[in-house]
Amino acid sequence: MNTPNVIPVEPEVKVGLSFLVSQVGAYAANTFSDLLRTIDLTPQHVGILRILASKPHELTQTALANRLSVLPSRLVALLDEIEARGLLERKPNEEDRRSKVLRITKKGEKTFLRAEMITRTLETQLFSTLSETERAKLSATMKKLADNLGLAPGVHPAYRNHNQ
Amino acid sequence: MNTPNVIPVEPEVKVGLSFLVSQVGAYAANTFSDLLRTIDLTPQHVGILRILASKPHELTQTALANRLSVLPSRLVALLDEIEARGLLERKPNEEDRRSKVLRITKKGEKTFLRAEMITRTLETQLFSTLSETERAKLSATMKKLADNLGLAPGVHPAYRNHNQ
DNA sequence: TATTGTTATACTCTATAACTATA
DNA sequence: TATAGTTATAGAGTATAACAATA
């Protein structure tokens, strides 16, 4: 070893694979959140729009709350914010007048498309250093993991409340 | 299509690779947090112990705060909790009596080893469905990504405060 | 009585700013 | 004057519990 000890020791920290995935995943989530700020949305908003933009297109608040494992009271605030921007509407439910049917608006669909463009920007930033086969392999592995762990498509664990 | 429409439509949600990584990563972080509760620690505590257990073994609070990109005031609370359990000590610094030198205790090293065992339990839970080559390939890819994105080893983005 | 959506409140976590003791 | 660590306070985000309307 010929390095003079004036130079600070390079930190030697060993971490496992789960840490690496969590670290990169959290970085991706943070960056996505930063990028979304330009269109005044949060990842949670986009997650809701994503579900409303996919089939089935209509569902009640309770159904959505169950799907996301989010508390109904928490969902109210999220929906208020999205509805205030005119991105979704709460329609009265003819069959059960207690409940409301959620539906994404035209403006909501447009905004969701912008969010998807931002997602593609993010993917470029994150994965451009991977080869095409590397990227495809990673994608397949992550899908397999998400599936085996029982993670529902489009449902981020960040929604989940801490008592279940 | 011969599925009767009485059966609920299977949701069709498409997500990108960054979402998948973030989703699995968040799930891993949540599970790790749950497992750590059995030894009364949080992932943040373990992250600090991991750095103190690795070389260099001694550093000041400011140095640690910079390393983790955590606010000094926030670090104080974290260190208080760890020190109260006797896992680290704040030694007076002879060279500068304003600062304190952090050092992990014997008990802290033992506790950190238990945390590492929990990490291995977690890795088994998460990745047992992958083949050995698949797992090695994933590990290499994630290391490459973390490196290219400039993520410091052992420094989880969850530490980072929101104003930088 | 039970459920849907809502509101009000409490709690936890984090950021900001003021403070002390040293330099 | 500036810096290291600390404490006090404020703010954001989330969970709990009570509520009105409807079933």
Give the model confidence (pLDDT) of A105-115 as tens digits. Answer: 999 999 999 99
Residues of A within 8 A of B119 (CB-CB) are: 16, 18-19
> What are residue B101's DSSP bridge partners?
B60, B91
pLDDT (mean) for A58-85: 95
Distance CA B137, CA A141 (A): 10
Contact at 8 Å (CB) between B99 and B4?
A: no
The nucleotide lying nearest B74 (C-alpha to C1') is: C14
Inter-chain CB proximity A23 and B146 less than 8 Å: yes
- Is residue A127 less than 8 Å (CB to CB) from chain B? yes
Statement: the CB of B90 is under 7 Å from strand D: yes
Please determine, for residue A8, whether its predicted confidence score (pLDDT) is greater than 50.
no
Which pLDDT does position A163 carry in this prediction? 75
- Is residue B106 less than 8 Å (CB to CB) from chain A? no
pLDDT (mean) for B38-61: 94
Residue B62: closest CA among B45, B47, B74: B74
Which pLDDT does position B163 carry in this prediction? 74
Distance CA A58, CA A64 (A): 10
Please determine, for residue A5, whether its predicted confidence score (pLDDT) is greater than 50.
no
Residues of B within 8 A of A134 (CB-CB) are: 141
pLDDT (mean) for A116-122: 97
Which pLDDT does position A6 carry in this prediction? 41
Distance CA A6, CA A99 (A): 69
- Is residue A22 less than 8 Å (CB to CB) from chain B? yes
- Is residue A33 less than 8 Å (CB to CB) from chain B? no
pLDDT (mean) for B111-118: 98
pTM: 0.92
The encoded tokens of residue A9 equal 């020791």
* Residue of B27, B139, B151 lying closest to A23 (CB–CB): B151
Contact at 8 Å (CB) between A47 and A137?
A: no
Which pLDDT does position A162 carry in this prediction? 78
Distance CA A93, CA B57 (A): 63
Which of B10, B12, B13 should we substitute to test contact with A (largest number of A Cβ atoms within 10 Å)?
Answer: B13
Confidence grade of residue A1 (pLDDT, cut at 50, 70, 90): very low
pLDDT (mean) for A79-108: 96
Confidence grade of residue B57 (pLDDT, cut at 50, 70, 90): confident
Residues of B within 8 A of A126 (CB-CB) are: 17-18, 145, 149
pLDDT (mean) for A134-140: 98
Distance CA A68, CA A48 (A): 9
The encoded tokens of residue B152 equal 């410091």
Distance CA A57, CA B25 (A): 28
Distance CA A142, CA B102 (A): 38
The encoded tokens of residue A64 equal 């959505």
Contacts of A55 (CB under 8 A, 6+ apart): B9, B11, B12
pLDDT (mean) for A132-155: 97
Residue B61: closest CA among B53, B70, A156: B70
Please determine, for residue A161, whether its predicted confidence score (pLDDT) is greater than 90.
no
Which pLDDT does position A95 carry in this prediction? 95
Average pLDDT, rounded, for chain B: 92
Counting every residue, how long is chain B? 164
Inter-chain CB proximity B24 and A156 less than 8 Å: no
Return the percentage of chain B with pLDDT > 90, whole number: 87
Confidence grade of residue A40 (pLDDT, cut at 50, 70, 90): very high
Contact at 8 Å (CB) between B61 and B99?
A: yes
* Residue lying closest to nucleotide C3, CA to C1': A98
Strand D proximity: list residues 117-136 of B with CB under 7 Å: none
- Is residue B161 less than 8 Å (CB to CB) from chain A? no
Which pLDDT does position A11 carry in this prediction? 64
Statement: the CB of B73 is under 7 Å from strand D: yes
pLDDT (mean) for B14-20: 96
Statement: the CB of B79 is under 7 Å from strand D: yes
pLDDT (mean) for A71-97: 96
